Structure 1
Amino acid sequence: MANHGHRGALACAVALIMAGCSSVAPPESDDTADALAPAQETAAAAAPDTDVTLWPQVSSDLNSPAIEARIDALMAKMTLEQKVGQVIQADNGSITPEEVKQYRIGSVLSGGNSGPDGKPYGTIDEWVADVDAYYAASVDPEGVEVAIPIIWGIDAVHGHNNVIGGTLFPHNIGLGAMRDPDLMGEIARVTAIELRTTGHDWTFAPTVAVPRDDRWGRSYEGFGEDPEIVATYSGKIVEGLQGTFGSDEFLNDTHIISTAKHFLGDGGTTGGQDQGDTQLSEADLVRLHAAGYPPAIEAGALSVMASFSEWNGTKIHGDHYLLTDVLKNRMGFDGFIVGDWNAHGQIDGCTNDDCPAALLAGLDMYMAPDSWRGLYKNTLAEVKSGVIPQERLDDAVRRILRAKLYFGIFDQPRPSERPLAGRADLLGTPEHRAVARQAVRESLVLLKNQGGVLPIRPDAKVLVAGEGADNIAKQAGGWSLTWQGGVTDAAAFPNAQSILDGIREAGSNVTYSLDGSYTDRPDVAIVVFGEDPYAEFRGDIVNVAYDLDGTRELVLLQKLKAEGIPVVSVFLSGRPLWVNRELNASDAFVAAWLPGSEGGGVADLLIGDAEGAPRFDFRGRLSFSWPRRADQTPLNVGDADYDPLFTYGYGLTYAAPAAVGELDESVAEGIATANASSTFFENGDFAAGWTAMIFGDVTQARVDHMAQEDALLFRFAGTGQGDVAFSDGTPRNYLRESNGDIELAITMKSDVDGRVEIGMRCDSDDCASFQPLTATQAAANEWTEVRVSLSCFSDLDLTSVLSPFSLRVTGAGSVAVSDVRFLEDADAQETCLGE
């Protein structure tokens, strides 16, 4: 992904964390034997315990004699260097068009924040121009007998969510509640059309994961906790994106290449840990997590993405059994397997820029966004030396060319000259928005409707309140223009309608107040609230409580109820969460999930017709079980001790109402809050309310440490002193911690020609204390954990600390930080820094 940092203001300006992205590739390595051996040994050890007959036998039927003959002709003219280039995919933020030509790279992707011209997202014209430049470079014939065009992949996971003006559909969790395969196919068809307008060829969708632990930050990318829904959806989505296999519309000018992902078991990791280990028997792995792949393969899916995760301790990217024996041989997949973001580097013995084990396991295209240069060099050397057999490389190239030929990339003009390119009139059209609005209506789940408060008469006095009411970014969720979502500029969503505006459109007497205050007593209040946008990593939580402390909207709900005003809660979330108190304080409660750009679809169900009758009935049914307790996870239908608050498949309607009694609001002892007070910054995610304040000539961006974008990089221009301070604006008393065996622990990497100091600041301008790194530490450019005892800051007023971690740099260079927290000092020895 591209570098997208914000320049800090010169004095006391808060630099809000943007999901910008940059990466530092690991050093190149020629130690191929060490890289290969561990993965081979792991795969060999697993083989005796596997049974390939447990897996379904299907066929993609992609082996067309005419296309295979064209592949033969192309490969006969390709150089070895070209073939290696084909198996590597680079991010447009880390490669230039000139380098695409030089290395004959096979594919370019745009990560979650890698838009055109170094922006996180762009307009239709900006996208077309960028895609055009890279395509033109790839087909430049200079120096080769045959030039192979690139295909450009992008995460269009709920519509074309990377372009200004695109139609944003509900996220998959809401679409799963619809139980409507035909509408899913129509959503995919619309998405393909809008992708074609920007010149893109390929989307990394559909996600066919089956999330089994709602603490996982990607739960909303799954259609449900049970494989039944994804089995009915995946084929329809592939057909909608690619067209019907065997027909004239297959991959025509209005369709694009699809990707079934992530193979396999990414929704079943222990504790819902992203990129974790799915510990299951093979039979359960097939039963729970494979259901989406046979329909997708039969529909002609041209690519499958391998998962970051492990199966019983073996990384999927290095698992020959799953990738080759199961997916390609048993399940008959003839397309190509693409990796995930530098995931090959997580295989034992591999690095991001050196991993023959992944190709040998069955990966066909490395997703090497920022590590592609080293990976190209090392892979080429490994083919020449025989570490990677020529036959395996040729098979991977054949599979990639097969997809390119089916897509017709050799027969199409440059992206800007294709029929739909630049057609802004096809973005967010009334037809497309009508499809999205229908999806919103069908996805909403009515959990409670006491006293028939819904539907609301259109002439009723309606008070609308809550942070989600007039907030397109919040109702759209993650993967909306940026990776983590949260874009606050309303102009970035020109073809969208907020929930508030949808209610205003349906009702004649609507008042909006963010905090719920009013002067004219309303007949009913609609409060729209819920989770802030997030994607993987930052979306992971430790329990399924929405608001464990009861400090968010609960006070407003209880106030309105106490005043005798009927309360309708519209809850925005990427998963079911414990909201017993909010349910008790509401007369009606609607699980709206993350509805996307069409807030009017919510109003369609809440506001009745002139006679007060429903205009539409609720039809959404839970595709995830709703928790009874804050610690009730994992919770899945079929569990031996299954005891949810609302069962899988639950959903009230106007035609079939039911009462919901008073719910238990107690919380078991020992349940932790999502962000403990001793952790300020973890895996690239700030604790709630925390941010980085920047002073001086400093910029910031996101980089990779252990995972994608899990660290912040601060660049210091060297034009004077630069400072960074982590704070939530609240002074705290850390005197007790300083008298105990507590250390400030920072995982960081410093590359500075100058002085780097770590310190703390208190609640006054002249109150600060710093400890210097050594010159060697400051310039080491290696990830390390730096620990400083709080007692080393005894000259500070520790009763009023505003920033428990501050960074002060005099000189030019960069410092990356991935974790900042207080930890117990195991050896109880004071550790201070110094020259």
Structure 2
Amino acid sequence: MLLPHTLSLEENVLTARRTTALVITAALTLPLTTAAHPADHLDAGLPLEARVHALLGRMTLDEKIGQMTQIRVGKLRGDCDAVPGPLREDCMKPVLVDAKVGSILSGGGDFPAPDPSPKAWAEMTNAIQKYALDNNRLRIPVLYGADGVHGHSNVVTATMFPHQIGLGATWNPKLIEQAGAATGQAMRATGVFWNFAPVSDIARDTRWGRYYETYSEDPHLAGTLAAAAVRGMQTDDGRTARLAATAKHFAGYSEPKGGHDRAPAFLPVRTLQDQVLPPFTAQFRAGVKTVMINSGSVNGVPVHASKYMLTEQLRNRLGFTGVAITDWQDIRSLVTKHKAAADYPAAIAMAVNAGVDMAMEPSAAGEFTAGLRQVVRDGRVSERRVDEAVRRILRLKFELGLFERPYVDPAVANERVNGVGLDLARKAATESMVLLRNEKSTLPLAKGGKIVVTGDTADDVRRQLGGWTVDWQGVPEQGPVPEAVTVLEGIRAAAPGGTVAHAPGQAEAVAQAKDAKAVVVVLGEKPGAEGPADTEEPALTAAQQGLVDAVRATGKPVVVVLLTGRPQVLGSVAGADALLAGWLPGTEGGTAVADVLFGTANPGGKLPVSWPKRVGDQPMSYDQLPGTNGGESSKYDPAFAFGHGLSYTSFAVGAPSVPATVRADAKLKIGFTVRNTGSRAGTAVVPVYVHQPVAPLQVPDKRLVGWARVELAAGAQQAVEVEFSVEQLALTSGDVDGAGRREVPRTGYEVVVEDERAPFAVR
């Protein structure tokens, strides 16, 4: 079971922030019936906490419970359930007036009907907001949320960026911050001020259906990039209320047994604290305003019912002060799936007491509000705990500026969403490309001569965009399809007219290859999300391998482009002349692929994950602990290692220089040079690792602590400096139970850059 532990160096970093929160809480323990002017909370000139206190003091229990409830927009329109249509007063009244619900969400596919334009989105959210405010004696605005996981991805005309796994391959926090800002701008323009992104989980098992939603298998890389996304999404451009990002899914969600979504996870405390939680800590430092809770269980305890996870870890140790929301119907799941509670009121009490602030109860708001009212009145949940949750929710709404700017301008929504960010999407997709293999310099291709393009994803927008695009499982077969440049279209635009032949089938591809200069085979996987995207065979299919084998047999150079959300075991495809991982590259994916294939762009992406050789290599990560059987089976043996990625040029990295000693509470600066030794300009991504030769616990052979990303002209050299906090080397001490402090061992270490090492000691 999970056990408590003492404070560590990492925890002390957040002490000041926690102390501030405690001071605020102490100041607000005055009786909530303290006299206040009726409009105090609407006075923007008052301090934020005074406004929160004034408003909370005027609220009834039912009004407070309503603020803790979120329901999907489908309950407000159409048939008041599943059939879309215009908003209806008889649908809105039970939710916004009777249940006093304070938050609305669009799940995948919950877009305005029949018009899905950004303007229609803005009109819909405005109408909901107006109805709520007009029928709310305290004029508390609703907060509208959606999953903008790779752009404003519910909006068919929005620009879709690469999914997180592709952005992870860029190793470029600045770019990811820009993509986050573009996403936030599009969402705010439509009245959506809460984004259920980014995913903070680490990628360890390619069988898992949400693998593509993660940035990396490495905690530091994942946390750094997620923090950048948060900063971008929460950028305030002054034109609307602000947007809240969400760190999800707290915590351990990406470690399900067997790779099945929402399956139980079994995590030693040491693994939880040293690998799973650091990406969340990075986002808390970046100011993320909300967290979404892991739908599964950890060590046999449903996380929605775990006070250890939601209070001791999230609040007390990590210092998070924002709003904690459930995932889809997860309090009800304590009854229906986990069997942890006998009935819904018991589940509500369990979750709220554990630390849940808001319930995503998509279809039955009245049942949740009635259940919470019941358990408060019978003493199973204290009203003080309700006040704590509601105070966080109200604070969030005040921080976002919703009381002052609850509406958006529909007249400008289309121009702030449609086609906005295409250049950035192209740049992001291009930087995400990882050149895995390039025998005999097959790439870049010359533009003269015939090129055959084949494969199941060469001209398929749905596969290229992946899940969470327009709908939950991806672009539906029936309905609007986003505009996007497919790989076939990108190659045709880049190559001279008449030189590109599309061969949809294997026989045609073989026939066309006979007089071709090269064959480009584009392979992908069926789009999906969550459980439906789980797979026991994360591998290229027999048909896909057969196609590549057939065109290779013609003797022509074969380039395989992989548009997948996870590394696929390659089988015979591993022998192709060139392999390019393009991930799920988004709207401009085809243009980006063509840019790399023809050398307009030099690939600079690096794998943010390990690429397995065999289906049985699960879970896999470069930082796995060493085995002791003496055989090959216990070694790290991927097809392509974490950090792998080729270029059309070459680089030389100099030996690192570091101080001889450093304090455990300090930062360490590492200097080295990077030189472009080739004939093309290119981008070098140089990971910096630390090796600990001797440790009281098992540690990975090396741990990523930072990296340099350097753009260099041919022949150019640059001195670079990478700085990292020594705190990153902290380990959870103690025996098997991991009950000790999390602290940095005072011992000797080595910085590892490429094949060079430099020793230092922590004192």
Structure 1 length normalisation: TM-score? 0.68
Query: Which structure 1 residue ranges, 5 or more long, are not aligned?
Result: 1-45, 244-248, 609-613, 658-835
- Alignment deviations for residues 376-405 of structure 1 (CA, whole Å, 9 cap, x no partner): 111112212222101000000000001000
Quote the Cα distance in structure 1 between the aligned partners of 2:480 and 2:167: 26
Task: Look up the match of 1:654.
Answer: 648
1:187-229 alpha-carbon deviations (Å, 9 max, x no partner): 0000011112221111001111012211111011111111121
CA distance in 1, matches of 2:342, 2:363: 16
Q: What is the identity percentage for the equivalent residue pairs of Structure 1 and Structure 2?
A: 33
User: Where has structure 1 moved over 6 Å in runs of 4 or more?
Assistant: none
Aligned counterpart in structure 1 of residue 245 of structure 2, from 228, 247, 258: 258
| Superposed counterparts of 1:110-259, under 5 Å | 110-117=106-113, 122-141=116-135, 144=137, 146-243=138-235, 249=236, 253=240, 255-259=242-246
Offset, 1:350: 5.4
* C-alpha distance in 2 between matches for 1:97 and 1:371: 13
**Cα separation, 2, equivalents of 1:542 and 1:321:** 32
Q: Which amino acid aligns with 1:481?
A: V
Provide the C-alpha distance between the structure 2 equivalents of 1:326 and 1:632, rounded to a whole number of angstroms: 31
Residue of structure 2 equivalent to 1:638: 623
Which residue number in structure 1 is paired with residue 441 of structure 2? 452
Q: State the shift of 1:131 in Å.
A: 1.2
The aligned residue for residue 665 of structure 1 is none
Match of 2:61 in 1: 80
Give the match for residue 473 of structure 1: 462
Match of 2:714 in 1: none
Report the Cα offset of residue 546 of structure 1: 2.5
CA RMSD of aligned residues (A): 2.3
Could you report, residue by residue, the CA deviation over 1:224-280 in whole angstroms, capped at 9, with x for unpaired residues? 11112112112211110112xxxxx38762741111110001112222221122212
- Whether 1:589 and 2:579 are equivalent positions in the alignment is yes
Encode CA deviations 1:498-523: one digit per residue, 9 max, x unaligned.
11111111111222221252558221
Judge conservation of contact 1:461–1:523 (CA < 8 Å) in 2: yes
CA distance in 1, matches of 2:4, 2:321: 26
Contact 2:611 / 2:642 at 8 angstroms: preserved in 1? Answer: yes
- Superposed displacement of residue 426, structure 1: 2.2
Report deviation, 1:141: 4.1
Residue 560 of structure 1: aligned partner? 551
Structure 1 residues 488 and 504: CA distance shift in structure 2, 3 A: farther
Q: Greater CA deviation, 182-191 or 308-317?
A: 308-317
* Paired residues of 2:151 and 2:161 also in contact (CA < 8 A): yes
- With over 3 angstroms needed to count, the CA separation of the structure-2 counterparts of 1:410 and 1:49, relative to structure 1, is closer
What's 1:284 paired with?
271
Query: In the alignment, is the contact (CA less than 8 A) between 1:499 and 1:598 conserved in 2?
Result: no
- The CA deviation at 1:126 is 2.6
**8 Å contact kept, 2:435–2:646:** yes
The one of 580, 604, 609 aligned to 1:624: 609
Say which of 286, 308, 312 aligns to 1:321.
308
2:489 to 489, 501, 509: 501
Distance 1:158 1:301 in 2: 18
Q: Distance in 2 between matches of 1:388 and 1:624?
A: 43
**Partner SS state of residue 529, structure 1:** strand
Offset from partner CA, 1:300-356 (integer Å, 9 cap, x none): 211111111212111111111111122112222111101101112233115556521
Following superposition, the deviation at residue 428 of structure 1 comes to 4.2
What per-residue deviation string (whole Å, max 9, x for no partner) do you get for residues 357-385 of structure 1? 10110100011111322111111122122
Q: 1:408 — aligned with what? A: 401
Counterpart CA distance in 1 for 2:342 and 2:153 is 33
Alignment of 1:796-811 (within 5 A): none
* 2:71 alignment counterpart: 90
**In structure 2, which of residues 398, 405, 424 is the aligned counterpart of residue 435 of structure 1?**
424
- Check whether the contact 1:350–1:357 (CA below 8 A) recurs between aligned residues: no
Q: Provide the C-alpha distance between the structure 2 equivalents of 1:403 and 1:413, rounded to a whole number of angstroms.
A: 13
Indicate if the aligned counterparts of 2:189 and 2:416 stay in contact, CA closer than 8 A: yes
Q: Distance in 2 between matches of 1:635 and 1:601?
A: 32
SS, match of residue 73 in structure 1: helix
Query: Residues 350, 115 of structure 1: CA spacing in aligned structure 2 closer, same or farther, 3 A cutoff?
Result: farther
Show CA shifts across 1:611-633 (max 9, x none).
xxx32211111111111112221
1:181 is displaced (CA, Å) by 0.5
Task: Return the alpha-carbon distance in structure 2 between the equivalents of residues 373 and 427 of structure 1.
Answer: 35
Deviation per CA, 1:630-679, whole angstroms, max 9, x where unpaired?
2221111122321111111111111149xxxxxxxxxxxxxxxxxxxxxx
Q: 1:228 to 1:47 in 2, by over 3 A?
A: closer
Is the CA contact (8 Å cut-off) linking 2:204 and 2:620 kept in structure 1?
A: yes
| Partner of residue 87, structure 2 | none
- TM-score (normalised: structure 2): 0.74
In the alignment, which of 91, 96, 99 is matched to residue 100 of structure 1? Answer: 96
Report the CA distance between 1:451 and its aligned residue: 1.9
CA deviations over 1:807-831 (Å, ceiling 9, x no partner): xxxxxxxxxxxxxxxxxxxxxxxxx
8 A contact 2:596–2:602 mirrored in 1: no
Shift in Å at residue 561 of structure 1? 1.5
Give the match for residue 692 of structure 1: none
2:535 to 524, 538, 541: 541
Cross-structure match for 1:305: 292
- The answer as to 2:23 corresponding to 1:56 is no
Which structure: greater helix fraction? 2
Distance 1:408 1:72, change over 3 A: same
Match of 1:515 in 2: 505
Equivalents in 2 of 1:352, 1:204: separation in Å? 25
Opposite residue 105 of structure 1, the aligned amino acid is V
1:574 counterpart = 2:570: no
Query: Counterpart in 1 of 2:415?
Result: 425
* 1:156 to 1:539, Cα distance in 2 relative to 1, 3 A: same
Tell me which of 364, 371, 377 is aligned to 1:378. 371
Q: Map 1:679-690; keep pairs closer than 5 Å.
A: none
Q: Structure 2: how far apart are the matches of 1:487 and 1:315?
A: 32
Q: Tell me, in whole angstroms, the C-alpha distance in 1 between the residues paired with 2:540 and 2:414.
A: 39
> Measured at CA, do residues 199 and 521 of structure 1 come closer, stay the same or move farther in structure 2, by a change above 3 Å?
same
Residues in 2 aligned to 1:460 and 1:434: alpha-carbon distance in whole angstroms? 29
1:603 and 2:584 matched: no
Which AA in structure 2 matches 1:583? A
Equivalent residue letter for 2:360: M
8 Å Cα contact 2:75-2:92 kept in structure 1: no
